Structure 1
């Protein structure tokens, strides 16, 4: 792009290649121009000292034109870059009235917003200025030699470009014109400083300034996001209806009542939260992959759905909180019954002679019964409480591994983040999901393939404890639905000494006794059941 400068009389002054420094008022030491690259949005906000700004004034006021130079059919062509003065409508509306009230200010902002978003109402120009000291200059001012304090008398007001945005629109035709841009648009918002209201002490006031380089592109896959969201929400509703029907069946209800409706609402909250989480993860990871692999610009950051993703995450957390509260209440109302299959042992004592009875009945046997100890029930209950606190993965190890990858392995800022002006929230969410999910799946895979098979399987160990203790377990999740752990010992008893217990295990190892399962010749010991209502 070329930048052409004119004086107020229209005479040509300079023609030069456009640089960001030509439109920038910020301190050069705070600028990082390596962030400026194609298809990467750039933004810089700073505060400019008024005295320093006046010190950069040229000898005479300058007006500028921008031109886009390009090649077509081996010809070098130029096209003028249109300029949109964003606050020209608001400024004109204010100048028409001497009294600006809140109602007028609201109307001005509404008109400004309407004009900004309605391209048909745009009034484009081709020439602009960066600093205007010519319009409101003091005509009676006389320059004094060796006096730098006369700026207060030199100008009455100064107009400057406080917000500059250069917008490039990228073509959607990737097959014939990849990475092709249309004529850019320069948007400017002007600010005004009244010099007459300043004194020497307040002359060092700081002015806000912002410069932006924005790339715009219409996505052809936006409809994919809409289809995914609609599909997930419909699936959440269907799954909630199915779970509500299953709850009605498990409770042996003939009609739908308020309890079933409440359960359906809770199921719907949980499933909608899952759908929103999946949608946010899908978009974040999809954008992360596209940005990482694209050679032709297909997507620009930040995406339009970024704010929507944040809202969905907040809504999903709120809905999931309702589901978790209901889950805690449900687990606290589960009924658990321990069934002890152990029978009392019968002992025959030595015969006793009753000398005062000469009949044959004087020689008799005394039969006693030994009670069943309760230690096995306590042991099973204790193991059940331990089992309820276990997870299928180690949460502490999971957090340590995630922090190790992020901090120690320096994966917090991957190479992909260097391609954008600032770390995008969508990329952060996607990258966090990738790391968190990778560590989680790795733990589950190692746990399933190695730990549960060769080291420790907590659920199977609990079932073995029930068989060794000859105690079964009923877990009633609902009134008529629950789970059953068949812990009846195939040996018929377990209240014995350690030597007998070792012999029992040896018999099972040699397969010379019955099986532990509920059904004959079966090892299945865990079941879900539906009990009658009169149970």
Structure 2
């Protein structure tokens, strides 16, 4: 080293100077090492801003940040296949040196120049296509490192000097960031020590004495070329411009003993692209903040409506909990919408742009998208739990309008007996209600099947690759970039939501009006069975399905039933509606405290005390209490609906625009008069999964996206989403079935 230092310092011998530079690089640029300190003194004495006579390994202190943000590279870039005006390759020039300091070659970066294993040049050359996020991991036997030559590399970015001299190029040094020390791993570039010259394998430094083989070999475990795009918000007239690239290096050692034990080593070579995300994150935060205020406002409206429907006079703890839960549901929608449209923007704009204005966020820059997704998933989970709990705790009463047939005479004792009214009609309606509890407008099995066919069979998932290509499949010797999660998220949500919208439109536009409308069928069955459904979802709010037969009786034979249907078809009987001359059968209703108090007095104590109903072993007292409670409540409600109660009545009205839009009522629940609001025949669907298709679809989208975030696998995400959706349906069905049996005082064994 002494001779090399003399020849370099005294005669500026390039070979000697390069030898000193190589020795310094072998120390991982230790400033205290004699080779580094000597070369730095010589470089400071002989180099200036225009001429570099001696290799300059260290960027001057304090210039790391300014270099990383420099706009010295004046050439613009386009994506491959999007025009020839700008370069679509990374024009990196490599200078290779032997360990003795001789210049071996100066060449343009291409192929597998930095791979230690055998990779096809066509695949490896994708690393130098601008905009392609490239990553390859080579795994080779450690013993193979001992047969590799130790060579050193300097990287330069090649670009035209200016428009006046298009044929003259400028070489800009690409600096290295060695990550073997903790100080170098800091995110703030002000504290970085940037250097030049690096090596792939060092198989000679640990050779000593008569040993011909090194005891330890150092190899480059991680090599990443980081390309940072100029912020086009600040520089709208500089599309495709980049800051000087930075090469991140990390070295590792392997001993000869480990190599002889067949140990394998890995080397990762990658090219990543970044952009300034500070403004983007601020925009997302501002959007989330503004929209969150809207979510809280909507949650407050829901909480106010819930408080009125529950008969609350003031704000209590339960009202505040309702506010939090409602706001959580709206926030999950807002977070999902914000990150979806942000990701969709990046996905479409990056794939379709000609001149590079933006690149996909790097893996670490995607973190805020993932955080919002996790938050949306957690908030929606809370929303779904509360939704299910609300549906399976409603109070429901099946009101029988049937009247006993004329009295019959008992022959033995000449007594007149009143024949009982058949209960099978009530059981029929209860079973139909039980069946439609989990009916939805979309089928999760069909949803998953179409999603997987599009993603896996058609190959749409390959559109999520972090490159400029829009291809579904690749050739054998063609590189497919790793998937960007931003692209996966945008693509997955778009496809899933698209399929769900298609299913819903098909159900609403084709299946329900032409093939089968289960909710309308349920209303028809209620009319045929002469059974009304009285549901109280809140203390002072509920839904009513008027099932009173237009013929006055439903206990009849086949001929009688067919005659009744024919009379309705010929308009020879009254209408099915609650009001005379009306066909309106479904209502939402505001109930006065008097009615609720009477229900709690008559029915609630019965189903709360029936411990033997699940096993079917009811005591005679319990059985008698159940029958009496049902008969009393049935008589009370029939008289109420016939305006036969002196102190309790109702009126029918339509909601105004604000009430319909916000789903609230301005009627005072303290009043003694109930209000029945007309609807379009399906307001009671909010008691079923059918009325929450949007919420359930958002839930499934979040489950799918969350699983894909963890596993990066659409197949696994779709399968888990299927089972989660089925679990929610089964749980809703089982608990809802038990609640139906308890609240209607029907033996659970009759609910099929």
TM-score by length of 1: 0.80
Question: Is the 1:82–1:124 contact (alpha carbons within 8 Å) kept by the matching residues of 2?
Answer: no
Give the one of 543, 547, 552 matched to 1:483.
543
Question: Is the 2:184–2:191 contact (alpha carbons within 8 Å) kept by the matching residues of 1?
Answer: no
Q: Which residue of 1 aligns with 2:303?
A: 244
Give the one of 225, 238, 245 matched to 1:184.
245
Provide Cα deviations, 1:25-53, integer angstroms capped at 9, x if missing partner: 23336993254221122122233434322
Question: Is the 1:82–1:184 contact (alpha carbons within 8 Å) kept by the matching residues of 2?
Answer: yes
Structure 1: distance between partners of 2:353 and 2:561: 67
| 1:93-172 matched pairs, under 5 angstroms | 109=182, 111-114=183-186, 117-132=187-202, 135-138=205-208, 140-141=209-210, 151-152=212-213, 155=214, 157-172=216-231
Q: Which residue of 1 aligns with 2:95?
A: 4
What are structure 2's unaligned runs of at least 5 residues?
A: 1-91, 470-479, 596-752
Provide Cα deviations, 1:482-525, integer angstroms capped at 9, x if missing partner: 10011122222222333333333233223333222222332211
Q: Which residue of 2 aligns with 1:209?
A: 267
Decide whether aligned partners of structure 1 residues 5 and 401 sit closer, same or farther in structure 2, where only a CA change above 3 A counts.
closer
Structure 2: distance between partners of 1:175 and 1:262: 48
Question: Is the 2:429–2:529 contact (alpha carbons within 8 Å) kept by the matching residues of 1?
Answer: yes
Decide whether aligned partners of structure 1 residues 126 and 461 sit closer, same or farther in structure 2, where only a CA change above 3 A counts.
same
Partner of 2:589, secondary structure, is strand
Pairwise CA distance, 1:246: 0.7
Structure 2: distance between partners of 1:491 and 1:508: 9
Pairwise CA distance, 1:383: 1.4
Give the one of 573, 579, 603 matched to 1:519.
579
Structure number with greater Rg is 1
Structure 2: distance between partners of 1:534 and 1:523: 28
Number of residues of Structure 1 aligned to a counterpart in Structure 2:
482
Pairwise CA distance, 1:373: 2.2
Pairwise CA distance, 1:439: 1.6
Q: Which residue of 1 aligns with 2:138?
A: 46
Decide whether aligned partners of structure 1 residues 26 and 483 sit closer, same or farther in structure 2, where only a CA change above 3 A counts.
same
| 2:570 corresponds to 1:510 | yes
| 2:329 corresponds to 1:257 | no
Out of 503-512 and 241-250, give the one that drifted further: 503-512
Structure 2: distance between partners of 1:165 and 1:411: 29
Pairwise CA distance, 1:479: 1.7
| 1:365-404 matched pairs, under 5 angstroms | 369-404=418-453
Structure 1: distance between partners of 2:258 and 2:584: 91
Provide Cα deviations, 1:280-323, integer angstroms capped at 9, x if missing partner: 43333333322332223322243655333334433433333333
Structure 2: distance between partners of 1:22 and 1:401: 43
Partner of 1:3, secondary structure, is strand
| 2:508 corresponds to 1:459 | no
Give the one of 70, 74, 86 matched to 2:159.
70
Out of 259-268 and 443-452, give the one that drifted further: 259-268
Question: Is the 1:269–1:322 contact (alpha carbons within 8 Å) kept by the matching residues of 2?
Answer: yes
Question: Is the 2:157–2:174 contact (alpha carbons within 8 Å) kept by the matching residues of 1?
Answer: no
Question: Is the 2:404–2:419 contact (alpha carbons within 8 Å) kept by the matching residues of 1?
Answer: yes
Partner of 1:380, secondary structure, is helix
Structure 2: distance between partners of 1:125 and 1:386: 72
Structure 2: distance between partners of 1:66 and 1:409: 41
Decide whether aligned partners of structure 1 residues 377 and 491 sit closer, same or farther in structure 2, where only a CA change above 3 A counts.
same
Q: Which residue of 2 aligns with 1:226?
A: 285
Give the one of 17, 22, 35 matched to 2:113.
22
Question: Is the 1:470–1:489 contact (alpha carbons within 8 Å) kept by the matching residues of 2?
Answer: yes
Question: Is the 1:2–1:17 contact (alpha carbons within 8 Å) kept by the matching residues of 2?
Answer: yes
Pairwise CA distance, 1:386: 1.4
Q: Which residue of 1 aligns with 2:31?
A: none
Question: Is the 1:163–1:211 contact (alpha carbons within 8 Å) kept by the matching residues of 2?
Answer: yes
Pairwise CA distance, 1:369: 4.7
Q: Which residue of 1 aligns with 2:620?
A: none
| 1:305-320 matched pairs, under 5 angstroms | 306-320=366-380
Pairwise CA distance, 1:477: 0.7
Decide whether aligned partners of structure 1 residues 415 and 319 sit closer, same or farther in structure 2, where only a CA change above 3 A counts.
closer
TM-score by length of 2: 0.58
Pairwise CA distance, 1:215: 1.8
